[in-house]
Amino acid sequence: MTNVPTFCVELGDFQPKNDNPGIALSTAEGDDPCHRLFRTNSHLAGMLSRARLLGLGPRSLVRPGRSVRQEGSGVENRAIRFAAAALMVVVLVPAVSFAQSGGISGTVKDATGAVLPGVTVEAASPALIEKVRSATTDGQGQYRIVDLRPGTYTVTFTLPGFSSVKRAGIELTTNFTATVNSELKVGGVEETITVSGSTPVVDVQNVIQQRVVSKEIVDAIPSGRTEQTIGALVPGIQMQAVSNPVTQDVGGSTGDMRQTLGIHGSKQSDFNEMIEGVSMNAMTGFYTGGMNMDTGAVQEFSYEIGAITAERPTGAVLVNIIPREGGNRFSGSLFSAYASRNLQADNIDDALIARGVSTSSNLDKNWDLNGSVGGPIKNDKVWFFASSRYWGYNNLVANAFINKTAGSNPPVYTPDLNQQAIDDSWLGSASGRLTYQANSKNKFGLFLIDQGRCLCHQNVSATTAPEAARQARSPVNHLMQGSWNAPITSKLLFEAAAQRYLFQQEYFPQGTVNDTTLSVVEQSTGLNYNAPQQGRFRHNSWIYNYRASVSYVTGGNAFKTGFTLQRGDRQYIGNVYGNLNLQVLNGVPRTVTVNATPYVYLMHLNRALGIFAQDQWTLKRLTLNLGVRFDNHVESIPEEHLPAVQFYGPRDYSAISDVTNWKDLDPRLGVSYDVFGNGKTALKATIGRYLQGETIQFAAAMNPVNTAVNSVNRTWTDRNGNFYPDCDFSNLFENAECGQANNLNFGKPITTTQFDPAIRQGWGKRGYNWESEVTISHELMSRVSINAGYYRRAYGNFLVVDNQSFAPSDYTFYNFPLPADSRLPAGAGSSVVGLADISPTKFGQVNNTVTFASSYGRQFDHYNGFDVSINARLPRNVLLLGGVSVGREELNNCDVVGKVDNLATAVTGLAAGTAANYSGFAGPSSLYCDIKPPFQPQVKLQGRHPLPWGIDFAATFQSVPGPQILANYALTSAQVAPYLGRNLASGSGGTTTIGLVAPGTLYGDRVYQVDARISRSLKLGGTKLRGNVDLYNLLNANAVLLQNNVFGPKWQQPTAVLPGRLLKLSAQLDF
């Protein structure tokens, strides 16, 4: 192989030196100008120096060529350090706590039915460090107590001349307002009448749609014990792939993959996770979070899924996590779970073997160790809670094997059928919380969490060989959040919170890969082997969040106004080993991707400011929920100076102050009607405008470093058989073994993509969606309710990329006959109609403009669906939750694509119940521009029932749509030429990929999963020991979760199968 200069990227160790630490750019020949970049980029050096002072001080990365240390026994030591850190936090750090809350309201009357003003209403609970909160009824006899933490309450009504009334056992969850009415009779105040009654299960005032999962439910049901796997049991919610394409969990098989959650046609960009109302997303991609919460530290998970209030900018799934606070008595728990391959059944049958499956997706082992403790430092004054968790998995990967010839020259993939590939991951977490009641009016608190993780073979699969999988590590993942809560009077409440979040993600190749190892992709099967397509890269995020509000509450009215503010920075460092990626077709070299790395760029989020006002106004049976939110989102790019790298000379870019300066005014309107006036039936309707989730993604897309041409594709003919493209890469035209580059701007210090100012500045320019709902909730019997609703979502402000160098006349259209394959829905003899190829004279010319799709025509993306759910919490701890969700998302851009001249434009969307991406064929072609997937229902149930002898039985059931099936067919120029009338524009050695199956038309079999748990509890004084025996995938189903979508010899070959029946043992000690 020809020797070429290769580069490595390394972040400095942040230790004090004479020079600023930073990016080390070094060649394989030994030249090591470690600080060259930062001598020319003082701003970036300053950012990193500040990061060191803020605690963002990761270990140095090793240089390419040195082995990357694999985490082994050291993981246990790190978990111990996490636990010690949590205890130190609790002991040493004074602090604050911010409560996301529920409320109690109602009307008080006398025996004649006349309203009673001036009644003192007190709500008491062990969940309140201040013990009790109070209010007074107004002139209409109405009262309202807000900002009550989740827990069980006793409500007492007192008025001179009347007997006191006490109502016990009122259970509150986040964002739920319990209606508790009372009737007072004439008598002495000292005479107390205790009224029995069940907890209200219908909220007749709030319109927000949410599903609350308490610690009690988490402890009772079989699940993966993460906010994603727990949320996936909620009807309508589906996990959306981020780090792991598999989204169906079997006993913790998906680990801590940080998948997003979607519902009712929502996008991944709109998912949000919060800790007590403050976002904890890491700016690594839209609202994607960097944290996975330690379940042992959580009081409850609140999944807000519709009609979200004006306090939030987006309207998709919002997970609001309420941490545990401690209390006036010491308590804690220890949880341990383990499973291994010896406890799992094989579910590979003849049908799967016939489809090419030789091995299962079963586990090698998984584990979960979780300990927590809390209690008083001083009763009614200072509480603490600390928790530590270490969990992970080693999963066997279906049809994936160790490459016996990894690193060979030339590269060859030779699967070792005796060594199945393993996807291994671990995460350690430590958290601590303090709550301090300074006086009767002021409560403070602090929550800290620190995590470390490794996805040690990220994305290894049947199409990614183990040596081509990356190691993804988070050496810095630290969040600190504090707040102040002040009920100044029974009517006036102040709240404020602040958060600092530091996050670093590193990606390494495996230890067998060095800086001269090149990635290879086999186009006929999609297999990536030999090395990852990216070498070592990293992104760092510094995020700061603030929120404050003031509420004024009377008996019939609750007004709240406040603001949220987020600011921060994100840095990205990219590198490709050897600066080359190779592609072959049936083993024959075809194309090469030439990269210009390393590079680094930085983006600022100057402000994401939201100012909101909302009013809840009750008029007899009718409650109006009126809200409005103003958002101002400003991103910028600093001045950047990059040194010379291979294929690029030094680059200097000016700062861009207002990448975006969006302003939006969004109404959130809702109405709730207590149909019969008894608090048992509520009819609700809402409409609201919500914004597309955004942190600094626009600045990343517009960054000049990123919009410069950092990579190009060239055809490659390996004439001398050395499996290396021997050509002059600096000559962009055909020479030696390489064809012309597909972008002639490669290596030039210019940007080839311009962003229309109309999409970046002003009012109403940000992506948005209108969400509307009509729902009805009804209490069927005590503690049993049913909810049914219609949901609609419609998106707006679509963007397109238009290549100004092209015109419609520059394309040649052609049809290609479908191959003879009975599995293709169109059948033999049909053709794919409307394919397009650019004129050879225009090939490689790129001058893109990003602008509104409405400049070309109409585009729409709509979701319509229906949900029905039940919530039954019966005596003796009997529980039944679940329901049905059915809907579909329709996408159409047929009026746009025929007018946009860019082969790279794509349509992306989500089908109901799946997380499939749809890619339409762009340019002037309207192929697959109208996507209408079928209605596909989800059915999900979870329940618990006590059995004799202290045994509990719990189970969950899921029925969800199977994976979308596509058929992406890689064609050579010789195959296309008879129908195109010439070679492809990329030349005689070129390739193109066409889709043989319309998106949204073909799906795999549905996925059915039943999980069950048998528990037995023993009580010893104040200690309870519970043992659990879980059977995941009880029926040993073997549904295909993912399949190969590359049309060829392995088309539809399963790449992931539902893991077989798993016996998992766990125990929990509560004290």
Q: Is the pLDDT of residue 623 over 70?
A: yes
Say what the pLDDT of residue 331 is.
Answer: 94
Mean pLDDT, the chain, integer:
85
Q: How confident is the model at residue 284 (pLDDT cuts 50, 70, 90)?
A: low
Measured CA to CA, the distance from residue 386 to residue 373 in angstroms comes to 6
**Distance in angstroms (rounded) separating the CA atoms of residues 325 and 299:** 8
Distances from the Cα of 119 to the Cα of 156, 159, 189, 611, angstroms = 10, 5, 11, 35
Among 27-36, 146-155, 215-224, 740-749, the minimum mean pLDDT is found in 27-36
Of 18-22, 133-137, 356-360, 967-971, the least confident: 18-22
Which amino acid type is present at position 85?
Answer: A
**Are the C-beta atoms of residues 148 and 177 closer than 8 Å to each other?**
no
pLDDT surpassing 60 at residue 676: yes
Q: How confident is the model at residue 834 (pLDDT cuts 50, 70, 90)?
A: confident
What mean pLDDT do residues 23-36 have?
32
Give yes or no for a contact between 411 and 425, defined as CB atoms under 8 angstroms apart. Answer: no
Q: What is the pLDDT of residue 2?
A: 35
| 789 or 66, greater pLDDT | 789
The 10s digit of each residue's pLDDT in 333-351 is: 999 999 999 999 999 999 9
b/e map of 115-125 (b: 16 or more CB within 10 Å)? bbeebbbbbbb
Q: What is the pLDDT of residue 253?
A: 86
In the chain, the domains with their CATH numbers are: 102-195 (2.60.40.1120)
Mean pLDDT of 792-812: 89
Gap between the Cα atoms of 269 and 272, Å rounded: 8
Residue range 1040-1046: mean pLDDT, rounded: 93
Cα angle at 664 between 661 and 670, to 5 degrees?
160
CB atoms < 10 A from the CB of 974, how many? 12
642 pLDDT higher than 60: yes
Would you state the pLDDT for residue 923? Answer: 55
Beta bridge partners of 145: 104
User: CA torsion angle for 115, 120, 121, 127 (degrees, to 10)?
Assistant: 170
Give φ, ψ of 72 to 5 degrees.
Answer: -135, -110
Q: Is the pLDDT of residue 288 over 70?
A: no
DSSP single-letter state for residue 1005:
-
**Between 832 and 1064, residue with greater pLDDT:** 1064
Q: Residue 65: its pLDDT value, please? A: 33
Give the count of alpha carbons within 13 A of 40, CB side only: 16
Q: Is the pLDDT of residue 109 over 60?
A: yes
Q: What are the φ and ψ backbone dihedral angles of 637, each rounded to 5 degrees?
A: -130, 130
For residue 975, pLDDT over 80 is answered with yes
Instruction: Reduce the DSSP state of residue 855 to 3 states and report it.
Output: helix
Q: Please, which pLDDT band fits residue 241 given cuts at 50, 70 and 90?
A: confident
Residues, the chain:
1071
pLDDT at 423: 93
Identify the pLDDT of residue 894: 87
What is the pLDDT averaged over residues 392-408? 92
Is residue 91 predicted with pLDDT exceeding 60?
Answer: no
The per-residue pLDDT for range 478-520, each reduced to its tens digit, is 999 999 999 999 899 999 999 999 999 899 899 888 888 999 9
Beta carbons within 10 angstroms of residue 793's beta carbon: 25
Average pLDDT on 953-974 reads 94
The pLDDT, as a whole number, for residue 610 is 98
Sign of CA dihedral 974, 979, 982, 986: negative
Torsion sign (Cα): 522, 527, 530, 536: positive
Q: Does the pLDDT value for residue 261 go beyond 50?
A: yes
Per residue in 858-877, pLDDT (tens digit) is 999 999 999 999 999 998 88
The percent of residues above 70 in pLDDT, for the chain, comes to 87
Strand (E) or helix (H) holding 393: strand 382-403
Residues 447 and 294 sit within 8 Å (Cβ to Cβ): no
**CA–CA dist 425, 470 (Å, integer):** 12
Reduced to 3 states (helix: H, G, I; strand: E, B; else coil), residue 273 is strand
Which residues are paired to 415 by β-bridges? Answer: 403
Angle, alpha carbons 293-103-136 (nearest 5°): 150
- Over range 322-330, report the average pLDDT: 93
Please tell me whether residue 989 adopts helix, strand or coil conformation: coil
DSSP annotation string for 148-212? EPSEEEEEEEE-TTB-EEEEEEEEE-TT-EEE--EEE-BS-TT-EEEEP-PPP---SS---EEEE
Confidence of residue 5 (pLDDT cuts 50, 70, 90): very low
Looking up tokens 């013990």 gives 131
- Other Cβ atoms within 10 Å of 704 Cβ, number: 19
Determine contact, residues 57/2, Cβ cutoff 8 Å. no
What span, in angstroms and rounded, lies between the C-alpha atoms of 776 and 634?
A: 40
Question: How high is the pLDDT of residue 289?
Answer: 63
Write the secondary structure of 1029-1043 as one string of H (helix), E (strand) and C (coil).
EEEECCCCCCCEEEE
Residue 965 has pLDDT above 60, yes or no: yes
Q: What pLDDT sits at residue 407?
A: 86
Query: By the 8 A CB rule, do 702 and 754 touch?
Result: no
Q: Give the list of residues 6+ apart from residue 401 with CB closer than 8 angstroms, or none.
A: 359, 415, 416, 417, 419, 420, 421
> What is the pLDDT at residue 829?
58
What pLDDT, on a 0 to 100 scale, did the predictor assign at position 909?
29
**E-only strand ranges, 974-1053:** 991-995, 1007-1020, 1023-1032, 1040-1043
Q: And the tokens for 34? A: 């470690």
Q: Is the pLDDT of residue 899 over 90?
A: no
What 3-state DSSP class applies to 685?
strand
What pLDDT band is residue 554 in, cutting at 50, 70 and 90? very high
Report for 37-46, 534-543, 678-687, 963-972: range of highest mean pLDDT: 678-687
* Residues 6+ away with beta carbon under 8 Å from 687: 667, 669, 670, 770, 771, 772, 773
User: Distance between CA atoms of 406 and 984, rounded to whole angstroms?
Assistant: 33
Q: Is the pLDDT of residue 732 over 80?
A: yes
Mean pLDDT to the nearest integer, 572-580? 90
pLDDT per residue as tens digits for the range 422-455: 999 999 999 999 999 999 899 999 999 999 999 9
For residue 976, pLDDT over 80 is answered with yes
Residue 921: the pLDDT is 41
List the single range of 219-223, 254-258, 339-343, 972-976 with lowest mean pLDDT.
254-258
pLDDT digit string, tens, across residues 184-223: 998 877 778 887 777 899 999 999 999 999 999 999 999 9
Starting at the earlier edge strand, list the strands of the sheet with 527-529: 527-529, 519-522, 580-585, 588-595, 711-715
Of the candidates 651, 991, 972, 714, the one whose C-alpha atom is nearest the C-alpha of residue 844 is 714
Rounded CA gap, 777 and 678, in Å?
13
Reading the block at residue 917, the tokens are 């991406």
Question: What is the spatial distance between Cα 711 and Cα 802, in angstroms, rounded to a whole number?
Answer: 19
Contact between 519 and 530 (Cβ < 8 Å): yes
pLDDT given at position 679: 93
* Residues 275 and 479 sit within 8 Å (Cβ to Cβ): yes
**How much is the pLDDT for 749?**
84
- Residue type at position 602: L
User: pLDDT at residue 47 above 70?
Assistant: no
Nearest by Cα to 582 from 648, 522, 507: 522
The Cα 136–Cα 125 span in angstroms is: 18
Q: At residue 30, does pLDDT exceed 50?
A: no
Q: What is the pLDDT of residue 912?
A: 28
Residue 1070 DSSP class: E
pLDDT at residue 900, rounded to an integer: 79
Is 60 exceeded by the pLDDT of residue 71? no
Q: What is the mean pLDDT of residues 238-264?
A: 83
Q: What pLDDT, on the 0 to 100 scale, is given for residue 448?
A: 97
Confidence of residue 777 (pLDDT cuts 50, 70, 90): very high
Percent of the chain with pLDDT over 90: 65
Give whole-number Cα distances, 875 to 9, 153, 880, 944, 1066, in Å. Answer: 61, 18, 12, 11, 26
Instruction: Report the distance separating Cα 771 and Cα 936, nearest Å.
Output: 21
Classify residue 928 as left (phi > 0), alpha (psi -120 to 50) or beta.
left
Which is it for strands 192-195 and 278-279: parallel, antiparallel or unpaired? unpaired
